[in-house]
Amino acid sequence: MIIVMNKSATQDQIDNVLDRIKDKGLEASVSKGIEKTVIGAIGDERLLDEELLASLPGVEQALHIVKPYKIVAREWHEQDSVINISGHPIGGKDIQIISGPCSVETPDQMQKSAKAVKAAGVKLMRGGAFKPRTSPYTFQGVGFEGLEMFREAADAEGLPIVTELLDVRHLDKFLEKKVDVIQIGTRSMQNFELLREVGKINVPVILKRGMSATISEWLMAAEYIASGGNHNIIFCERGIRTFETYYRNVLDVTAIPVLKKETHLPVIIDPSHAGGKAWMVAALSRAGIAAGADGLLVEMHPNPCEAWCDADQAINPDELKQLMSELTSIAQILGRNIGR
C-alpha cells in the first residue's frame, strides 16, 4: 500500500501513520520528496484499512497496490482452474452448455425437458424450483416438490442438475437431494451470509453477477465463497442494467476477457436473461463463446408458449439442437471442446 502525505504533514502525523502500519505487523518505507512524503507499507497490505488510513490527519491519499481479492485472483493461480461437475469438466479447453426450463412446473414438463436436453448433446440441466420474482404476485416456483420432480427427471437421463438457492435454510435439503451445482442468483450476489454458507460445502457454485454490480464487487463476492474453503466457483455474466429499454439487460461481453485476466476460475454467460427474447439467444451465445466464455446457461422449454415463467426468452428443443451445432463449430476454431 502507498500512503501519500499532505505537503503540510507534520512529523508527528507521519509517525502516527508508521505506527498504524507497524501495529498490523507490516514494515514501512518512507520516501521524503520536496513536495510530499510517501510511505510504502511492505507486507500483506490486506491487513490495512484503506479508508481508515486515508482519514488520518496529514494523509492525502491511501492506495492498495495488490488486489483486495486473493484466492480467486489469477496473480496467485496462473493456470486456468477446471471444475469437474459429475465427470463433466468446465474451464481450460472445456466448454459446457447448461440448459433446461426457467422453472420446474410439472413432472411431464420436466421429463420432456430432460429428454430434449439429452438429445441435443447437452450434459448439464438447469431448472428453478424456487424463483425470485420482482412482483410478489407472480409465480414463485413449486418449491421442494419441484426439486423432487427435477431430480427424478434428470436422473432418468443421467444429467447433473443446476438450481438456484435463495434461502440458507434450504441448503440442507439441497444437499440431501444431491444438487450437483448450486446457483446464486443476481439478487443474492451480495447476500454475504448465503455466500459464507455455500463456502463451507464442497458443491460447485455458479455465482451470477448482480444486475448493477461492478467487476470488483463480483470478484469480492466470489472471495466470500472461496474464503470458506469452497473454490469450485463459476462466474456467470447475465446482463447488467443500463438506460436501454429495448431489451431486458445488456450482455457485458467485455466482462469475459476482463474476468479471464483477473481470475483463474471459469466464466459462463446467460444469454437468455441478458436479451430477454428467444430470438436473441443464439447470437448472444455465439458472441459469448467467441469471446472466450467457458459455457452457457440457456433456457429451453419443450413448449415455450406454455412456460409458466419467462416464456419470451425460452428456446425450443429444435433451436437448442441447432445452437449446439453452431457452438461446436465455433469452439473447434478456438481449439476447444463442447460437452465432454
Start-to-end C-alpha separation, the chain: 44
**Sign of the CA dihedral 108, 169, 234, 257?**
positive
Contact yes or no for 281/272 (Cβ under 8 A) = yes
Q: How far apart are CA 165 and CA 143, in angstroms?
A: 11
pLDDT under 50: residue ranges of the chain: none
To which CATH superfamily is domain 2-63 assigned? Phospho-2-dehydro-3-deoxyheptonate aldolase; domain 1 (3.30.70.1140)
Model confidence, pTM: 0.85
C-alpha cell at 319: 433451436
Rg (CA), the chain: 23
318-323-325 Cα angle (round to 5): 100
Nearest CA among 249, 255, 276, 275 for reference residue 267: 255
Nearest CA among 199, 290, 275, 194 for reference residue 239: 275
| 195-237 confidence digits (pLDDT tens) | 999 999 999 999 999 999 999 999 999 999 999 999 999 999 9
What residue ranges of the chain are covered by domains with CATH 3.30.70.1140? Answer: 2-63
Contact yes or no for 72/223 (Cβ under 8 A) = yes
Task: Kindly give the residue spans of alpha helices, DSSP state H, lying in the chain.
Answer: 11-23, 50-54, 107-119, 144-157, 171-176, 192-198, 215-227, 255-262, 271-275, 278-290, 317-333
What residue ranges of the chain are covered by domains with CATH 3.20.20.70? Answer: 74-338
C-alpha cell at 282: 443464439
Would you identify the CATH topology of the domain 74-338?
TIM Barrel (3.20.20)
Nearest CA among 182, 177, 184, 131 for reference residue 154: 177
Residue 197: what pLDDT?
A: 96
Q: How far apart are CA 172 and CA 76, in angstroms?
A: 32
Residue type, 242: T
